[in-house]
Structure 1
Amino acid sequence: MKRILIVKTTSMGDVIHALPVVEDLLQHHPDAQIDWLVEESFADIPRLHPQVKQVFTVAVRRWRKQWWRWQTWREISVVKQAVAAQPYDAVLDLQGLLKSAVMATWARGPRHGYDRHSIREPLASRFYQHTYAIPYRQHAVIRMRTLAASALHYAMPLEKPNYGLSAQCPDANSMAFLALHATSRDSKLWPETHWVALGQYYARQGLQMWLPWGNDMEHQRALRIAGQVPDALVLPQMDLQTLARRMVHVRFAVGVDTGLSHLAAALNVPVVALYTDTEPAYTGVAAGRVSPAMNLGGAGLMPLVNDVIAMLAPIA
């Protein structure tokens, strides 16, 4: 039985993009035990996968703000001891940053990562015993799947990724759709007027708009949108695992550049992702094997409501 540690710590969308690696590894090594090292705020992502055995959490974002505290160094020591408790046959740093390369050294086992020409922080490649040249100009999902295939000596799979989170097919009979309006930067937001117009259009088609939220600002935005859309539902605040269970019961999702849009794709929910400040070519939503995932817009572009409706026409 092989023991494999995946190091992929942040952020939500990036961690989701790494999930197909688990399925690829298990296809070629069915008895493998796969563990994961991840930032504490994104730990629910690998925990959603039934074949990830152990999830180790770090808190780099919090530790940086409290590096002088004894408690911080004790937490770091506890994680390091837990990761080093058993040897690994392979340690895969799918993150490719200096911080993740350092954390990979906590594990006992051969470390695999990108070579200095394939990585944003070339110094990180010095922490690996095995490095691989994997071109940047391809989607992040493909890059990570290629790294794992190279490290474990199997051919890079050609089929679409399997995220392993849900075997359910899209609920074509659902009378609701998901509006993922919240994101990390204001420059990535889609105008509230557009959300209202989209919700009103689908309300006339008999579809209810569901609006999740995570903080007070997002809650207030959801309430403003729902106040102008007939029968719209502002969901109660819920953790990621609860929201994931709710997400699979919609007909489709529309979302901005946010981790939840990637989660929808991973759950086999048809999704249109809206980009206004970033380019989706290499980090946009990536469809699994069941349902479509479509990227619309780009840096400096503002997707139109009619464009979204047109893309969803075969589904909605």
Structure 2
Amino acid sequence: MEFRHLRYFLVLAEELHFGRAARRLSMSQPPLSLNLQQLESAVGAQLLTRNSKSVQLTAAGRAFVPAARALLEQAEQAAALARDVGLGMAGNLRIGFAGTLLYSGLPEILARFQAKHPLLRVMLKELSSSEQLIEIAHDRLDLGFVHTTRVPPELSQILVASQAFVCCLQQGHALSRKRQLPLKMLEGQPFAVISRTASPDYHDRILASCADAGFKPEIRYELQHWLSVASLVAQGMGVALVPEALRQSRIAGAVFVPLAAASPSASGEPVNPAVSAYETHCLWKTGREDAALAAFVAAVRSASDGIKLMPSKMKSVKNDARLG
């Protein structure tokens, strides 16, 4: 019994017509009939009956269909595993990420990638952006998903997403029912912010945006993770500006209100300045020749049109001074 016998039989079982099956297989009918006879001889049972009007599966043929399909699938899986090992697609791939990525499509990327490369063990480590840069520099991470533009020039990167900031309020807050919220309306409210040590870029950007809106935020809480920021707000302890992806966290008691778009005054200055976008970059060491790393980078690129992690068109960037 050979694998080609199984493939030919399964096509015949689907078509129940020698002519159509032969056309699908790009072969003539006589060799197709001969291969079926060889398979029946190897199995020791008649699998198909045929006459001038029809082709039918026998009871033995019906029972053999799922077994033949399983044998072919196992053979294909074995071949894929062997290819992965031969190409270096076995071992460990160490990936860093920030917590908000759990609500922005990273799990979908990982599931698809792992299904395609089952011998490759993907290891995740939750770290701040600055921590990931250190880990990649010391080869303790292969790749990271960061939220910073302060990237060393020796790293290659992909801009994978750019999302808006929204206002996070406790459900029932006086401002929580507004459809849009001018940033100025948060003046005098106790603020929860991401700490400067965890995310210096966005800590400073939030403060700068409040200053542009004409007030200095009353910072009561500095936290290490965006989820902690939103959870604290949900308990009624303050307000915050957080990445829009946190809407997907469904934190009980938290409401997310879009910020009003910037609008020019008579002098041309913005009345409601917007907080700059929250960007996600995928980055790795330039010049690394690693098949597993290259395959994962390709998976991130190909996912751009399919999942929430990639709401905007992806752009590859290598040593780009604008992002460094």
The answer, yes or no, to whether TM exceeds 0.5 is no
| Bigger radius of gyration among the two | 2
TM-score normalized with structure 1 length: 0.28
| Higher relative contact order (Cα pairs below 8 Å, separated by 6+ residues) | 2
TM-score normalized with structure 2 length: 0.27
